Amino acid sequence: MSEMYVMRRANGDFFAEEIDGRLSIPVWPSREAIARYKERNPELIFFSPARADRNLMKKLTSGLGREATADFFLLSESAPDAYLKDGRPISLEEVFREDAVASQSARGQV
């Protein structure tokens, strides 16, 4: 997975779902997966994909405040039903694993 995406409104709000009583932020593995989920979930119509980079995730986590925390979950690339609650938990380290590998290899080339 080279890039991952979250959904965001024009006003900066992130799309989130409540799963098992906890706020959860879906993460999509590709723009193609987002398109499929948008076809099957009309609540996503007002959201646009945003690449999940470190700056964006800092904004997201700082906007939650001290009391609120969010879990992240990875939605399937190929699930035909595209249910928003059918993801697997994912850590921020997993989201940025490719970034870390790319920056290490870039440093090694200099």
**Residue of 33, 19, 9, 26 whose CA lies nearest to 73:** 26
* Domain, as residue range, for 45: 5-109
Neighbouring residues of 109: CB distance < 8 A, sequence distance ≥ 6: none
Question: What's the CATH number where 21 sits?
Answer: 3.40.1350
Q: What domain count does the chain have?
A: 1
Q: What is the pLDDT of residues 4-60, one digit of tens each?
A: 999 999 998 889 988 888 888 999 999 999 999 999 999 999 999 999 888 887 777
pTM equals 0.77
Residue 63 pLDDT: 59
